[in-house]
């Protein structure tokens, strides 16, 4: 990947969220969320289920729309204009809890689909890059199988490769290991760690505390649709400021 | 990077060998309890009575002269003797396509080609067909084998195969109708199995794309498109096919400029297509609903436009999921073509009605209906069989 750069250098804010509010019907699920993320930063979002963390990450690439506030991604303001949403989706890759691979296509086709149809790359070139990506996530030999023939961990690694194939600036992870058997979690986390080291900007919603402590540059704790506390892993885990954070950590650790 | 590969460990322990004798199987499946023993004997008795009655009738009592004498009528109706080569040529084109496709794709289409060959061979063995007919049958068989061999080797075979099928309706209509180049054969002379097959082929092939568009329209966010599609589907599904045929007789002339007429057969084709499309749409919609939301989201997040995600991700999966329903609808359309008798077209069943009321064959309606049923069954079964095969072949990527 191109964006191998030292982490200290860039100070540019690639994601800016200002007073983001969202309601599901009458339920206020995101309350005045303010958050900025620098290029190359790895941000882990923690919080109990129903706290709005998944909803928040899904607003970043327009899967959920917001009723108030602004989200600016790489100087593009997210709006209802489908052109803007499509432009932002080309900048962001997303990995889902349920993998969401296309079951009727081989692994190779899953990965080359968007480069060929959206980036208009020649098929040969897209396949070459896809094989390199499969190499990077450690499963080059699965290229011609179908998703149903792979284990959960392998499928999730393919999903990461599929997102990377569009050469995104930002990667969004929505509980990427929550649907996996315990012995497969590590193989997915290893891929994510390697990605973080390469300088990718990452937003990760997860329950993997070990990963958060080791890889995150900054951790955000969500509760009840609000950001409760923000800080480095050390600060948040070892010296939490808010009672809510202390309670959450005591329940989970 | 870690390679956590799941390789199946070769198990050295083989499953215990199971020796299944016929006796063992019968004992296990037919005589394993008192109740089943009684059930087995009662069933055997019923099967025996039915088979004995039917077979005795078929072999001794039935007089198959009525089928023999009217065979041509059943197949092509009143298509004139001098022009019959055109029907044969159209069939030969189809045979060629079947052979080529069997070579190119193998699988289901190859089995259908076997069936076609079997039908030709059986006809070749029928003693009452003329020498002229047998030459045509023989050339069909030869064509099938030759095109199969060619299909196996053909470079760019798939392109040629798809092109051939797309072209087929035009080629067949050209041979039958003439398009002014060949002398015209009035469409009222297209009867029997020929009419049944043409009508159902047009209705099935035509209704498929219309049905897909209606189904997509029904899920559209634009209210005008959405409510038009809902109204259309619900209206058509609420009225019987016969009403559609009748109203086409009256409605279509209203839309046309004065002095302009459309052949009855065309009106029926339009009616059958529009009717089937509404049902196809509901089948396809069922498929669309079976696709999880995550598939739409994944397609969006990798940057596909909504048209791209519909045609690359959603439809291929949705259609695959509803093959049985679509084929069921096609079979039902094929059989429903027999209703065209009401608006004055003489299809296979219409011919049967004519033949059985011919004074020379009075009292032989059983033979006639049995024969017609057999023809319908062979074609309908071939359709349902290929649907099952198709499901198995496409099942590869199933979740």
Q: pLDDT by residue (tens digit) across B235-266?
A: 999 999 999 998 888 888 788 777 777 788 88
Structural domain contains residue A107: yes
Indicate whether A122 pLDDT > 60. Answer: yes
Please indicate, yes or no, whether residues B178 and B223 belong to a single structural domain of this protein: no
- pLDDT category, A141, cuts 50, 70, 90? very high
Q: Mention every residue, 6+ apart, whose C-beta is less than 8 A from residue A223.
A: A47, A48, A51, A244, A248
Strands A13-24 and A68-73: antiparallel
Range of the domain at A146: 13-251
Between B1, B3, B398, which is nearest A194 by CB?
A: B1
Indicate whether A78 pLDDT > 90. Answer: no
The last residue of one of the domains, among B130, B150, B185, is B185
Chain B residues in contact with A194 (beta carbon < 8 A): 1
Cβ of B1 under 8 Å from any chain A Cβ? yes
Please indicate, yes or no, whether residues B328 and B236 belong to a single structural domain of this protein: yes
The last residue of one of the domains, among B185, B206, B225, is B185
Distance in angstroms (rounded) separating the CA atoms of residues B140 and B327: 27
Distance in angstroms (rounded) separating the CA atoms of residues A56 and B139: 70
Please indicate, yes or no, whether residues B110 and B206 belong to a single structural domain of this protein: no
Element (H, E) at A25: none
* Contact predicate B137/B90, CB 8 Å: no
Structural domain contains residue A7: no
Please indicate, yes or no, whether residues B172 and B238 belong to a single structural domain of this protein: no
Chain A residues in contact with B320 (beta carbon < 8 A): 104
Range of the domain at B140: 83-185
Report percent pLDDT > 70 for chain B. 96
Structural domain contains residue A164: yes
Q: How many domains does chain B have?
A: 2
Chain A residues in contact with B399 (beta carbon < 8 A): 103, 147-148
B267: how many CB neighbours lie within 10 A of its CB?
Answer: 21
**What are the tokens at A21?**
């509010």
pLDDT at B396: 46
Structural domain contains residue B61: no
**What are the tokens at B175?**
């041979």
Please indicate, yes or no, whether residues B154 and B262 belong to a single structural domain of this protein: no
Q: What is the rounded average pLDDT of the residues A142-153?
A: 93
pLDDT at B399: 42
Distance in angstroms (rounded) separating the CA atoms of residues A219 and A242: 14
Please indicate, yes or no, whether residues B101 and B145 belong to a single structural domain of this protein: yes
HSE at residue B315, side-chain half, CA atoms within 13 A, is 16
Chain A residues in contact with B3 (beta carbon < 8 A): 138
Structural domain contains residue A179: yes
Distance set, CA A93 to CA A172, B54, B194, B297 (Å): 6, 68, 56, 12
pLDDT tens column, B295-305 = 999 999 999 98
Please indicate, yes or no, whether residues B147 and B101 belong to a single structural domain of this protein: yes
Instruction: State chain B's mean pLDDT as an integer.
Output: 87
Structural domain contains residue B252: yes
Between B2, B3, B6, which is nearest A151 by CB?
A: B6
Cβ of B296 under 8 Å from any chain A Cβ? no
Indicate whether A190 pLDDT > 90. Answer: yes
Coil, helix or strand at residue B77: strand
pLDDT tens column, A199-226 = 999 999 999 999 999 999 999 999 999 9
Structural domain contains residue B35: no
Residues in chain A: 253
Please indicate, yes or no, whether residues B170 and B241 belong to a single structural domain of this protein: no
Helices A107-117, A152-164: inter-axial angle, 10-degree rounding: 20
Do B313 and A154 make contact, defined as CB atoms within 8 angstroms? Answer: no
pLDDT at B397: 45
Do A101 and B308 make contact, defined as CB atoms within 8 angstroms? Answer: no
Please indicate, yes or no, whether residues B299 and B347 belong to a single structural domain of this protein: yes
* Contact predicate A162/A114, CB 8 Å: yes
Q: What CATH number is associated with residue A83?
A: 3.40.50.300
CA angle B397–B398–B399, rounded 5-degree value: 115
Residues facing A43 on adjacent strands:
A203, A218
Structural domain contains residue B267: yes
Q: What CATH number is associated with residue B233?
A: 1.10.3720.10
Handedness of CA B222, B208, B162, A123 (dihedral sign): positive
pLDDT at B240: 94
pLDDT at A11: 64
pLDDT at B206: 92
pLDDT tens column, B94-107 = 999 999 999 888 88
Please indicate, yes or no, whether residues B166 and B308 belong to a single structural domain of this protein: no
Q: Rounded to the nearest 5°, which phi and psi values hold at A42?
A: -110, 115
Q: How far is CA B302 from the centre of its chain?
A: 39
Structural domain contains residue B94: yes
Q: Rounded to the nearest 5°, which phi and psi values hold at A170?
A: -130, 140
pLDDT at B271: 92
Please indicate, yes or no, whether residues B162 and B88 belong to a single structural domain of this protein: yes
Please indicate, yes or no, whether residues B136 and B268 belong to a single structural domain of this protein: no
Burial class (CB in 10 A: 0-12, 13-18, 19+), B131: exposed
Structural domain contains residue A1: no
Distance set, CA B194 to CA B91, B190, B349, B352 (Å): 10, 7, 12, 14
pLDDT at B7: 52
Distance in angstroms (rounded) separating the CA atoms of residues B308 and A189: 32
Residue A142 DSSP label: G
Q: Tokens 């159902």 identify what position? A: B200
Do A166 and B303 make contact, defined as CB atoms within 8 angstroms? Answer: yes
The last residue of one of the domains, among B185, B212, B246, is B185
pLDDT at B8: 54
Distance in angstroms (rounded) separating the CA atoms of residues B21 and A145: 39
Write b or e for each residue in B307-345: b if 16 or more Cβ atoms lie within 10 A of its Cβ, otherwise e: ebbbebbbbbbbbbbbbebbbbbbbebbebbbbbbebeb
Indicate whether A1 pLDDT > 50. Answer: no
Indicate whether B2 pLDDT > 60. Answer: no
Residue of B nearest to A141 (CA): B5
- pLDDT category, A111, cuts 50, 70, 90? very high
Residue of A nearest to B320 (CA): A104
Structural domain contains residue B395: no
Q: Tokens 């080059």 identify what position? A: A140
Distance in angstroms (rounded) separating the CA atoms of residues A29 and B324: 43
Do A100 and B316 make contact, defined as CB atoms within 8 angstroms? Answer: no
ipTM score of complex: 0.88
* More reliable by pLDDT, A57 or A4: A57
Structural domain contains residue B37: no
pLDDT tens column, A21-76 = 999 989 999 999 999 999 999 999 999 888 999 999 999 988 998 999 999 988 88
Q: How many domains does chain A have?
A: 1
pLDDT at B126: 85
Distance in angstroms (rounded) separating the CA atoms of residues A197 and A181: 25
Structural domain contains residue A76: yes
Structural domain contains residue B205: yes
pLDDT at B10: 57
């Amino acid at each position: 990947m191109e964006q191998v750069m030292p982490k200290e250098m860039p100070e540019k804010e690639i994601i800016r969220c200002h007073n983001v509010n969202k309601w599901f019907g009458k339920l206020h699920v995101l309350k005045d969320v303010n958050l900025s993320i620098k290029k190359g930063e790895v941000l882990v979002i923690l919080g109990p289920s129903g706290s709005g963390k998944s909803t928040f990450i899904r607003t970043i690439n327009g899967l959920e729309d917001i009723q108030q506030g602004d989200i600016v991604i790489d100087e593009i303001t997210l709006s209802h204009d489908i052109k803007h949403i499509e432009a932002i989706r080309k900048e962001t890759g997303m990995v889902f809890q349920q993998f969401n691979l296309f079951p009727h296509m081989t692994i190779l086709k899953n990965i080359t689909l968007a480069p060929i149809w959206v980036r208009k790359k020649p098929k040969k070139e897209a396949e070459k890059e896809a094989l390199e990506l499969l190499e990077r996530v450690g499963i080059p030999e699965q290229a011609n199988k179908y998703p149903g023939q792979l284990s959960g961990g392998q499928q999730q690694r393919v999903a990461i490769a599929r997102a990377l194939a569009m050469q995104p600036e930002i990667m969004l992870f929505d509980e990427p290991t929550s649907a996996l058997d315990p012995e497969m979690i590590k193989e997915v986390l290893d891929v994510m760690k390697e990605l973080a080291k390469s300088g990718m900007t990452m937003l990760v919603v997860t329950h993997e505390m070990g990963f958060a402590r080791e890889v995150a540059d900054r951790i955000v704790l969500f509760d009840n649709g609000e950001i409760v506390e923000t800080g480095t892993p050390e600060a948040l885990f070892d010296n939490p400021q808010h009672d809510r954070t202390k309670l959450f950590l005591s329940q989970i650790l | 990077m870690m390679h956590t590969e799941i390789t199946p460990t070769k198990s050295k322990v083989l499953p215990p060998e199971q020796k299944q004798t016929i006796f063992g199987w019968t004992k296990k499946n037919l005589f394993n309890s008192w109740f089943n023993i009684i059930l087995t004997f009662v069933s055997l008795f019923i099967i025996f009575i039915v088979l004995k009655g039917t077979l005795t009738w078929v072999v001794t009592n039935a007089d198959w002269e009525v089928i023999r004498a009217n065979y041509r009528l059943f197949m092509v109706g009143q298509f004139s003797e001098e022009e019959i080569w055109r029907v044969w040529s159209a069939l030969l084109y189809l045979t060629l396509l079947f052979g080529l496709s069997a070579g190119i794709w193998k699988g289901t289409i190859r089995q259908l080609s076997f069936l076609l060959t079997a039908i030709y061979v059986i006809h070749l063995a029928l003693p009452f067909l003329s020498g002229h007919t047998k030459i045509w049958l023989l050339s069909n068989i030869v064509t099938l084998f030759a095109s199969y061999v060619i299909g196996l080797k053909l470079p760019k075979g798939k392109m040629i195969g798809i092109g051939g099928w797309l072209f087929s309706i035009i080629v067949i209509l050209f041979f039958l109708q003439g398009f002014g180049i060949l002398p015209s054969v009035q469409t009222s002379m297209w009867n029997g199995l020929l009419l049944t097959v043409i009508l159902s082929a047009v209705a099935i092939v035509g209704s498929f794309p219309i049905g897909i568009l209606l189904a997509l329209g029904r899920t559209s966010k634009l209210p005008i498109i959405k409510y038009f599609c809902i109204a259309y589907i619900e209206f058509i599904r609420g009225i019987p096919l016969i009403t559609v045929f009748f109203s086409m007789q009256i409605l279509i002339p209203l839309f046309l400029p004065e002095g302009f007429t459309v052949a009855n057969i065309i009106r029926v084709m339009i009616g059958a297509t529009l009717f089937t499309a509404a049902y196809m749409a509901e089948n396809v919609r069922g498929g669309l609903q079976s696709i999880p939301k995550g598939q739409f989201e994944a397609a969006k997040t990798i940057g596909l436009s909504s048209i791209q995600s519909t045609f690359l991700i959603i439809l291929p999966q949705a259609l695959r999921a509803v093959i049985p329903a679509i084929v069921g609808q096609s079979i039902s359309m094929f059989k429903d073509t027999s209703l065209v008798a009401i608006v004055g077209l003489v299809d296979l069943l219409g011919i049967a009605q004519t033949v059985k009321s011919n004074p020379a064959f009075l009292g032989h309606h059983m033979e006639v209906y049995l024969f017609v049923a057999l023809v319908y069954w062979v074609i309908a079964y071939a359709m349902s069989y290929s649907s099952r095969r198709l499901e198995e072949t496409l099942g590869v990527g199933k979740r």
